[in-house]
């Protein structure tokens, strides 16, 4: 009952253009990671076995695990509590889950031949809408019935799944604009974008320059980009490009 009311209020707030504050949702969540262990294990298994021919599933799992720890460390660097950082990081590890319900063909693209088909361009953005269904299907498969307290964490994950391609200029899939995107969601969008660019093997400085450049004007919150740049320099968390990532385009 209370879960439904909270969910409806969150949806209504967003439809009315109010900001949904991920920090407030995280602070209100009594999160026990151990209680989600069977679900997280099942989710990773489903992701890893998606499209074994191209290893896209393995790549996707690597991407999601990297951004999970990256988001947690970035939040700690920015002074958020360990609890909030853990919750948001773990929730963000689910953000691309909808991809496993899509036709693997749309993710096939060689870096040597970077044109995408009309079909891929139309289908790819739909993964934000499909993620919640993918989550429900996996929970059903393993008989994971969340408690009301666990639903709070799942609501945060669903929110990040649905909104991780929003843009400050309002041209994202759902049209959230400016301050409707809360600071933590802006941080997550920046982390996701940076990791997505690593697949090309580009240097950190090149990636940051691109994210600050014309191509990304309106796509990213520049304050979040600046904070992320200082986080990377302060912590020295630079990764080698994932060999599985080369040639992928997600
Ligand atoms: Fe995505
Ligand atoms: Fe992603």
pLDDT tens by residue, 207-231:
999 999 998 999 999 999 999 999 9
Q: Is residue 182 part of a domain?
A: yes
**DSSP SS3 for 232:** helix
What's the gap in Å between 47 CA and the centre of ligand 1? 14
The per-residue pLDDT for range 124-178, each reduced to its tens digit, is 999 999 999 999 999 999 999 999 999 999 999 999 999 999 999 999 999 999 9
What's the gap in Å between 32 CA and the centre of ligand 1? 26
What's the gap in Å between 165 CA and the centre of ligand 2? 9
Q: Which ligand is nearest to the CA of 172?
A: 1
Average pLDDT, stretch 111-134?
84
The torsion region of residue 184 among left (phi > 0), alpha (psi -120 to 50) and beta comes to: alpha
Q: Is residue 12 part of a domain?
A: yes
Q: Is residue 102 part of a domain?
A: yes
What's the gap in Å between 161 CA and the centre of ligand 1? 8
Q: Which ligand is nearest to the CA of 131?
A: 1
The per-residue pLDDT for range 18-47, each reduced to its tens digit, is 678 999 999 999 999 999 999 999 999 999
Q: Is residue 45 part of a domain?
A: yes
CA atoms of 60 and 64, how far apart (whole Å) = 6
Q: Which ligand is nearest to the CA of 64?
A: 2
Q: Is residue 43 part of a domain?
A: yes
Inter-axis angle of helices 222-235 and 204-212, to 10 degrees? 160
What's the gap in Å between 196 CA and the centre of ligand 1? 9
- More confidently predicted of 1 and 191: 191
Query: Does the structure show a pLDDT above 80 at 241?
Result: no
What's the gap in Å between 250 CA and the centre of ligand 2? 7
Could you tell me the pLDDT band of residue 17, with boundaries at 50, 70 and 90?
low
What's the gap in Å between 1 CA and the centre of ligand 1? 31
Q: Is residue 243 part of a domain?
A: no
pLDDT score for 5: 73
Give me the domain span that covers residue 215. Answer: 2-235
CATH of residue 38's domain is 1.10.3210.10
Q: Is residue 242 part of a domain?
A: no
- More confidently predicted of 92 and 54: 92
**Paired tokens of 196:** 């997505």
Mean pLDDT of the chain: 90
Query: Does the structure show a pLDDT above 80 at 13?
Result: no
- Burial environment of residue 10 by CB neighbours within 10 A (0 to 12, 13 to 18, 19 or more): middle
pTM exceeding 0.75 = yes
Give the least confident one: 59-63, 177-181, 184-188, 196-200: 196-200
The total domain count for the chain is: 1
pLDDT score for 223: 96
Q: Is residue 95 part of a domain?
A: yes
Q: Which ligand is nearest to the CA of 127?
A: 1
Contact partners, residue 215, CB within 8 Å, separation at least 6: none
The residue whose two tokens read 């602070």 is 27
What's the gap in Å between 45 CA and the centre of ligand 2? 17
Q: Using CA atoms in the order 155, 159, 161, 163, what is the torsion angle rounded to 10 degrees?
A: 180
- More confidently predicted of 192 and 19: 192
pLDDT score for 112: 45
Query: Does the structure show a pLDDT above 70 at 184?
Result: yes
């Amino acid at each position: 009952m209370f879960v439904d009311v909270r969910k409806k209020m969150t949806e209504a707030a967003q439809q009315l253009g109010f900001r949904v504050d991920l920090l407030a949702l995280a602070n209100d969540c009594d999160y026990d990671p151990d209680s989600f262990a069977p679900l997280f294990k099942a989710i990773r298994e489903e992701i890893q076995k998606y499209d074994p021919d191209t290893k896209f599933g393995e790549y996707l799992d690597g991407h999601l695990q990297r951004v999970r720890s990256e988001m947690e460390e970035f939040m700690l660097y920015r002074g958020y509590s360990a609890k909030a950082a853990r919750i948001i990081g773990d929730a963000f590890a689910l953000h691309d889950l909808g991809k496993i319900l899509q036709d693997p063909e749309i993710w096939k693209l060689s870096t040597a031949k970077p044109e995408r088909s009309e079909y891929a361009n139309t289908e790819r953005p739909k993964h934000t809408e499909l993620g919640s269904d993918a989550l429900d299907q996996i929970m059903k498969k393993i008989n994971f019935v969340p408690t009301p307290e666990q639903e709070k964490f799942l609501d945060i994950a669903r929110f990040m799944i649905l909104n991780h391609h929003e843009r400050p200029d309002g041209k994202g899939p759902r049209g959230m604009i400016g301050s409707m995107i809360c600071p933590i969601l802006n941080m997550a969008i920046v982390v996701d974008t940076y990791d997505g660019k690593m697949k090309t093997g580009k240097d950190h400085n090149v990636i940051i320059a691109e994210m600050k450049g014309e191509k990304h004007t309106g796509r990213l919150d520049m304050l979040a980009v600046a904070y992320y740049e200082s986080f990377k320099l302060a912590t020295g968390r630079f990764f080698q490009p994932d060999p599985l990532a080369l040639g992928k385009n997600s």
